[in-house]
Amino acid sequence: MNRITSYVTSLAVTLSLALATIGCQDNKEPQKPAPSAKKTTPTVTVPTTKPVKPAPPVVVRPKTLFERLGGTAAISKVVDDFVAIAAPDPNVNFTRKGHPNEWDATPENVAKLKKGLVDFIGSATGGTVAYSGRDMVTAHKGMEITDAEFDALAADLKAALDKNKIPAAEQTELLTIVGTTRKAIVQPAAVKPAVDKPKPDGAKPDVKPEDSKPDAKPDEAKPGTEPKPDDTKAPDEKPATPDAPKKPTPDDAAGKEAPDKDAGVKDPAPAEPASK
């Protein structure tokens, strides 16, 4: 009996809840349909970008001779070997012995010389090192360096380049640069004026070969030859005529005997005509 009672009670509760739910739905306003969306034309947006300029071509700068030689460190090594080879070379006369501007090869002077050579080569081959020494004419004035000595010096430089395994192309470029300094470095020796030495008393004067020749004798006529005619006389000159004999005067007859009638007066011999 109790089971039936509880069953009926639960059924009644269920029905009441169902009716309450239906009633709540009736009190709600009916939902309106959602308005239809208007058709829109799609717009295409074109991106506005600035034209991109092409990158400039990469220019590869050729290396300078200074860089291809190896820079300051490699040039310094070449200069050290060059001085070591050229200093004892008799064909170079490194210290300029016997010349007005003789050079004293002290350690300080040798170090200064090497630095000047490194700076000069570095500046002449396109390096950043600036040469601040004297110009070539002033630096070598009075040394009287000859062309043969300059050539021997260049040969010693090439030997130093070979020792440091510098390529042939770089050697040729460097030796060409060094060759441009020939006119400034090679200087003729000064001509010393001749000084007459005093002669001792009683010394014979110097006789030149021209003075020792005998005096020329005048032309003498050779035997068997006739003298040449005098060209100063005119060719048309006539021979001189003899003077006419003088007539005797009375005074002559008184003092002298008259000549014989048969004895004629002899004419003097006519003068010979001048030879032409």
Determine the pLDDT at residue 276: 41
State the total domains in the chain: 1
167: CATH:
1.10.490.10
Q: Give pLDDT, residue 265.
A: 46
Q: Which SS3 state, helix, strand or coil, does residue 137 take?
A: helix
pLDDT at site 275: 46
Examine the pLDDT at 26 and tell me if it is beyond 60. Answer: no
What's the pTM value of the predicted model, to 2 decimals?
Answer: 0.51
Residue 240 lies in a domain: no
Task: Give the C-alpha separation, 219 to 102, whole Å.
Answer: 64
Count of Cβ atoms closer than 10 Å to residue 83 Cβ:
17
Using a 10 angstrom Cβ sphere, with 0-12 exposed, 13-18 middle and 19 or more buried, the burial of residue 66 is: buried
Residue 1 inside a domain? The answer is no
Q: What percentage of the chain carries pLDDT values higher than 90?
A: 38
106, part of any domain: yes
| pLDDT at 139 exceeding the cut of 80 | yes
Question: Could you report the per-residue pLDDT of 256-275, keeping only the tens digit for each?
Answer: 444 444 444 444 455 554 44
Angstrom distance (rounded) from CA 273 to CA 241: 10
Q: Is residue 154 part of a domain?
A: yes
Q: Is residue 17 part of a domain?
A: no
Residue in the structure block whose two tokens are 């640069």:
177
For a pLDDT cut of 70, what percent of the chain falls above it?
A: 52
Contact 95, 105 (CB under 8 A): yes
Give residue 241's pLDDT. 53
Polymer length of the chain? 276
Would residue 44 count as lying in a domain?
no
pLDDT value at position 9?
66
Q: List the domain range (segments joined by +) for residue 81.
A: 65-185
Residues 6+ apart with CB under 8 A from 157: 82, 86, 174, 175, 178
89 within domain boundaries: yes
248 pLDDT tier (thresholds 50, 70, 90) = low
- Per-residue pLDDT, 43: 74
The mean per-residue pLDDT over the stretch 92-114 comes to 92
Residue 163 is predicted with a pLDDT of 97
Secondary structure of residue 173 in the 3-state scheme: helix
Residue 105 lies in a domain: yes
